Structure 1
């Protein structure tokens, strides 16, 4: 079985990719197995026993996940791993050159951070049905956004440098790449499984594609990003 990990920051497209891969009959892609608050697989287990058992032996937990995925008949199996989840697992990725890494990042930091703020405020991290929440406007200040986007840009820069030095099979996709024609064929080729026509994510987008339209009062945000030369982030992302 080909083993893989989806690596990325929040609101970069990792959940969309996970749902897309899970639509393939030969792939098992779990959620955030090393989320600090819960073991997230098909279901979320936030019990003390589950979290403690994982954290006592994180590398063993990862290997057991892959063993179970192989036992379930997967040709390719993996899970999401976000920055900040578990350092020992990150170190194990670098020590295991046969483990494949899919790294996802997002160029439009304003879109990324606005999505993060909305998710924090609503506690809706993903959804499969459209509702009033999708059109709900975000209340945020330029300074609040600036703090987050610089932080995420720095993380992505350091991750890219770290990945460049690894011998692991790896591929990097920017958020918009996930929605381009032919992407499903590309990711299937990387995971060494045949493309399947059923590959489609059930998730719906949780905000306007025109990023400026996401905010209750876009005027100070528009001024700030135009002043620092990033006015294009206010426009349509995909």
Structure 2
């Protein structure tokens, strides 16, 4: 089974992206399986209880991914794919969607990592059989505002049947600059680690490409699966006009103008 790793910053559309890829019958895609706090027994199953400590996954990531590959061939994967964080399940039609192809058509296994999770398992990225999808969101104001609103509301992802919890921020230039400095430092480390990986094993795409049929078709070709329409079960939480995410948009706009970053005003 082919494998891929989505490498990206936080709040860069990865939840939407994973949901898109999961809707393809040849792809099994997981979230941050190497994240501290990822509840493996609850999210995947009790058979993975021995992987509950993060170190158990990071110490031997290849073995963990081998076991994950075996898992997607079982009926238990249907429950995982259709399960929601609140303990409920998707509607019956969606459940049957996953049940219709499990055990037969899945050819590709993937997961996502953010910089903090990527560096401890860099050796996995160096495996010849693993492909890298590098998802980049260049609008750091969008990342910052999305991250802070998620903290305020306690809602990191909104599924299509859920009510979106909305909030606005007070823009603080110093807080924003500390945030992006830390974000860029981690991302620089990831870029250095990726430099030694052959270019033909890396598919680079931007946040805006998540809505491009052409780019997504090229991505599916890169993964070696059939082209088809994919559907995400997530919905957008925040306005595309980024300055409208703040209580003081005039202050935000003045800051962007001062630093020649007016393209970040909307996305």
The alignment's TM-score, normalised by the length of structure 1, stands at 0.86
1:218-229 mapped onto 2 (5 Å cutoff): 218-229=249-260
CA contact (8 A) 2:243 2:249 kept: yes
Equivalent residue number for residue 52 of structure 2: 51
Equivalent residue number for residue 83 of structure 1: 115
- Distance in 2 of aligned mates of 1:186 and 1:160: 22
How big is the alpha-carbon RMSD for the aligned residues of Structure 1 and Structure 2? 2.6
CA contact (8 A) 1:38 1:45 kept: no
- Distance in 1 of aligned mates of 2:41 and 2:12: 19
Alpha-carbon distance, 1:166 to partner: 0.8
- Distance in 2 of aligned mates of 1:120 and 1:43: 22
1:158-197 mapped onto 2 (5 Å cutoff): 158-167=189-198, 169-197=201-229
User: Helix, strand or coil: the match of 1:34?
Assistant: coil
Q: Select between 210-219 and 46-55 the one with higher mean Cα deviation.
A: 46-55
CA contact (8 A) 1:39 1:51 kept: yes
- Distance in 1 of aligned mates of 2:45 and 2:144: 27
Cα shift readout 1:155-203 (whole Å, capped 9, x = no counterpart): 3344334323213711111111111232321121111100123x11121
User: Helix, strand or coil: the match of 2:239?
Assistant: coil
CA contact (8 A) 1:39 1:45 kept: no
1:204-219 mapped onto 2 (5 Å cutoff): 204-219=235-250
The alignment's TM-score, normalised by the length of structure 2, stands at 0.78
In structure 2, relative to structure 1, the CA distance for the partners of 1:225 and 1:106 (3 Å cut) is same
User: Helix, strand or coil: the match of 2:35?
Assistant: coil
Aligned residues: 233
CA contact (8 A) 2:220 2:227 kept: yes
- Distance in 2 of aligned mates of 1:40 and 1:175: 28
